[in-house]
Amino acid sequence: DAKTTQPNSMESNEEEPVHLPCNHSTISGTDYIHWYRQLPSQGPEYVIHGLTSNVNNRMASLAIAEDRKSSTLILHRATLRDAAVYYCIHYMDSNYQLIWGAGTKLIIKP
Amino acid sequence: GAGVSQTPSNKVTEKGKYVELRCDPISGHTALYWYRQSLGQGPEFLIYFQGTGAADDSGLPNDRFFAVRPEGSVSTLKIQRTERGDSAVYLCASSSNRAGTGELFFGEGSRLTVL
């Protein structure tokens, strides 16, 4: 089964960069890596996604390892509003499924 | 509205009753997903529609669960003979892209409580 592995929780100080790791060792060549975050009592919110190359957008950067078996979501300057559960998701092109793990709870300390 | 809308936001029902949960996707989005999320867990895939047809319903847990999208827009998730284990937040998401290649837009979910 496709699976992603993330730390259960991480802490970071406000206004510092945050690196959230994810392992996806079963990924195949056409499978995308997606990141979403979820605040309490809300639906998940898209953060970023990529296939092979590193990706940047206004919210974050995604660094994908050369062998694609791991990736890192980078929040360049964390704010209190970034406190959420962050999900690294493996999209399986073979059956159109997004495989979600349990996510990393990010705690931001003021 | 601009986003994905789900109704009801909260539903409390008794064991054995029938429940319908509705999802209004973003206009023009062809892909629609249903997920179920239990407390402290990530979303669990239920079913994926591309247009009117269910492209993948392998996540539906049993034949008490059924979903339709008759006109390729609004979708309804139907649960028959509800059980206490069905209690969860049911999330709907839509996308303009082929599944998995773009951003999914989620609704805020329908919280189902089966007493």
Helices (H), A1-110: none
Residue A85 clears pLDDT 70, i.e. is over it: yes
Q: In this complex, which of B33, B42, B45 lies closest to A101 when CB atoms are compared?
A: B42
pLDDT tens-place string over residues B34-90? 999 998 889 999 999 998 988 889 999 999 999 999 999 999 999 999 999 999 999
Does residue B90 belong to the interface with chain A, where contact is any CB pair within 8 Å?
Answer: no
Whether the bond into B8 is cis, omega within 30 of 0: yes
Region of A95 on the Ramachandran plot (φ > 0 left; ψ -120 to 50 alpha; else beta): alpha
Phi, psi of B85 (to 5 degrees): -70, -10
Q: In this complex, which of A32, A43, A45 lies closest to B100 when CB atoms are compared?
A: A32
Between CA B2 and CA A96 the distance in angstroms is 25
pLDDT at A9: 97
Residue type, A37: R
If one compares A21 and B99, the residue with the highest pLDDT of the two is A21
pLDDT tens-place string over residues B22-45? 999 999 999 999 999 998 889 999
pLDDT tens-place string over residues A31-83? 889 999 999 889 999 999 999 889 999 999 999 999 999 999 999 999 999 99
Region of B112 on the Ramachandran plot (φ > 0 left; ψ -120 to 50 alpha; else beta): beta
pLDDT at A10: 97
User: Could you give the 3-state DSSP secondary structure of residue A39?
Assistant: coil
Chain A residues in contact with B107 (beta carbon < 8 A): 43
Mean pLDDT of chain A: 90
Relative to beta strand B19-24, strand B5-7 is: antiparallel
pLDDT at A1: 57
Instruction: Tell me whether residue A20 is exposed, middle or buried, using C-beta atoms within 10 angstroms of its C-beta: 0 to 12, 13 to 18, 19 or more.
Output: buried
Confidence of residue B1 (pLDDT cuts 50, 70, 90): low
pLDDT tens-place string over residues A86-103? 999 988 777 667 788 889
